[in-house]
Amino acid sequence: MSSGMKNLSLPSRSLALCAALYAASGCSAAIPPKELVDARSSYTRAAEGPAASLAPAQLDTAKQALSRAEGAFNEDPEAQQTRDLAYIAERKAREAEAAAALQQAQRDKAEAEQNFKDLSQQQLASAKDALQSGQQQIERERQARAQAESGRTEAEKARSEAEKARQEAEAARREAERVANAALASLKEIAAVKEEKRGVVITLSGAVLFASGKSELLPIAKEKLNQVATTLKDQGSPPLRIEGHTDSTGSAQANRKLSLDRADAVKTHLISTGFPADKITTVGHGPDRPVADNSSAEGRANNRRVEIIVNPTSAQ
Per-residue pLDDT of 158-201, as tens digits, reads 888 888 888 887 876 676 556 556 656 666 666 789 998 999 99
Name the residue range of residue 156's domain. 3-173
203 and 165 within one domain: no
210 and 95 within one domain: no
201 and 161 within one domain: no
Domain limit, last residue, from 116, 145, 173: 173
Answer whether residue 286 is part of any domain: yes
CA distances for 269 relative to 175, 184, 220, 248, 266, angstroms: 30, 21, 13, 26, 5
C-beta neighbour count of 127 within 10 angstroms: 17
Determine the residue type at 179.
Answer: V
Per-residue pLDDT of 47-60, as tens digits, reads 999 988 998 999 99
Sequence-ordered list of residues with C-beta below 8 angstroms from that of 243, at least 6 positions apart, any chain = 259, 263, 282, 283, 284, 285, 289, 306, 307, 309
Strand partners, 195: 200
Per-residue pLDDT of 36-45, as tens digits, reads 999 999 999 9
Domain limit, last residue, from 133, 148, 173: 173
Answer whether residue 181 is part of any domain: no
Number of domains composing the chain: 2
43 and 158 within one domain: yes
30 and 146 within one domain: yes
Determine the residue type at 247.
Answer: D
pLDDT of res. 19: 52
Mean pLDDT, range 298-313, rounded to an integer:
92
133 and 210 within one domain: no
Query: Residues 237, 278: contact at Cβ < 8 Å?
Result: no
169 and 130 within one domain: yes
167 and 238 within one domain: no
197 and 162 within one domain: no
